[in-house]
Amino acid sequence: MNTKLINEKFAEHFGSSGELYASPGRINLIGEHTDYNGGFVFPGAIDKGMVAEIRLNGTDRVRVYSVDLDDYAEFGLREQDAPSQGWARYIFGVCREIEKRGGRIAGFDTAFSGDVPLGAGMSSSAALESTFANALNEIFSLGIDRFELARIGQSTEHNYCGVNCGIMDQFASVFGKAGHLMRLDCRSMEFRYFPFDPESHGYRLVLLDSVVKHELVDSPYNKRRESCERVVAAIAKRHPEVEFLRDATMEMLDEVSGEISEEDRRRARFVIGETQRVLDVCDALERDDYQTVGERMYQTHEGLSKDYEVSCEELDHLNEIARECGVTGSRIMGGGFGGCTINLVKADLYDNFISTAKDRFASRWGHQPKVYDVVISDGARKL
């Protein structure tokens, strides 16, 4: 991250200098579409994120310069002061969510920049929210705990940006720890760190971005959520203790297969399997068993493609190439219908995999995938 450029732009727009704060984007190794089913996710913070220089300005106005967009916004701290620019609403939303929780803040000047690739599913928006939530908490000595900082980011998305997201992205950005992934229980909000250091075991973690995003006529996420809820309702008639699919077993699913549609059965089969795969991967990492981690990643891709039907031809093609190149693990990362695959690759196979994937993907789809190496890093912090 080029902090020198941020310093220069801050001085140019606001004079003198401020304090630097940073927050990362994230990957999710495994645990897809499990969050709204009360299950587990397994994210980690990455070495790409957002950095902001911030200084109090003695007024009740916030003055913001986006280095990457070369755009300026200014706004007050009351609800009716919302800025027109979409990007500035993230910062305004964080200020408002802090105030709603009783935190008193005042005007500040800030310039910010990021190196999280936009649209690649690494949560640049969560990185931006976490940067400002953490910075304002420290600058104004508000004493907000880290979980509430993550919730402030999530509420910003819900209330000011129109995105009804779960908590995983902001959680990973705030709680990230170098060399560790985090298993978050989306029902109880309990979490635990697991060591994840692929480099020292001869592996690399790389994202291949298909650079496609399929426009969808209906809301596939809502449809899949409804499928899951119908299956839970059917199982709960026999097993009232089942509140989410996370509580169900394959045997319970078999019991109700005559009462639900084949499509709903396949959706539920994926989620029940995925809940177990996250636990399998956690166990495998405690044994440094990266082979099992990779096998579970392939199983997740297969389930997302065939049972949950959120893949697309481009992502299936990247997954196929990975398999043929001997890549240890590969799967779609994120909601689906475009975006990235996440790949766990033996270091000695890496160069061949990347060149093969670029050539074969380009010859079929007319453009190369973008390549992002990722290293698991620390969460929100002052620099």
Q: How do residues 28-79 score in pLDDT, each as one tens digit?
A: 999 999 988 999 999 999 999 999 999 999 999 999 999 999 999 999 999 9
- For residue 348, give both structure tokens: 């000695």
Confidence at residue 123, expressed as pLDDT on a 0 to 100 scale = 79
- For residue 172, give both structure tokens: 């990973």
CA separation for the pair 361, 366 (Å, rounded)? 8
pLDDT at 316 over 80: yes
| Lookup result for tokens 């496609």 | 212
The residues near 308 (Cβ < 8 Å, ≥ 6 apart) are 33, 224, 266, 267, 270, 271, 336
Global pTM value:
0.89
Confidence at residue 215, expressed as pLDDT on a 0 to 100 scale = 60
Q: Which of 76-85, 131-140, 186-195, 211-220 has the lowest mean pLDDT?
A: 211-220
DSSP 167: S
Q: How confident is the model at residue 19 (pLDDT cuts 50, 70, 90)?
A: very high
Strands annotated E in 268-337: 329-333
Q: Residue 319 in contact with residue 301, Cβ under 8 Å?
A: yes
Over pLDDT 90: what percentage of the chain? 85
Interval 359-374: pLDDT, tens: 999 999 999 999 999 9
- Amino acid at residue number 183: R
The residues near 169 (Cβ < 8 Å, ≥ 6 apart) are 26, 43, 123, 125, 126, 153
pLDDT at 216 over 70: no
Mean pLDDT for the stretch of residues 214-220:
62
Taken in order of first residue, the domains within the chain and their CATH numbers are 3-196 (3.30.230.10), 199-373 (3.30.70.890)
Interval 78-111: pLDDT, tens: 999 999 999 999 999 999 999 999 999 999 999 9
Interaxial angle between packed helices 124-139 and 86-100, expressed in degrees from 0 to 180 and rounded to the nearest 10: 40
pLDDT at 267 over 60: yes
Closest CA to 53 of 1, 111, 117, 122: 111
Residue numbers annotated as active site: 169
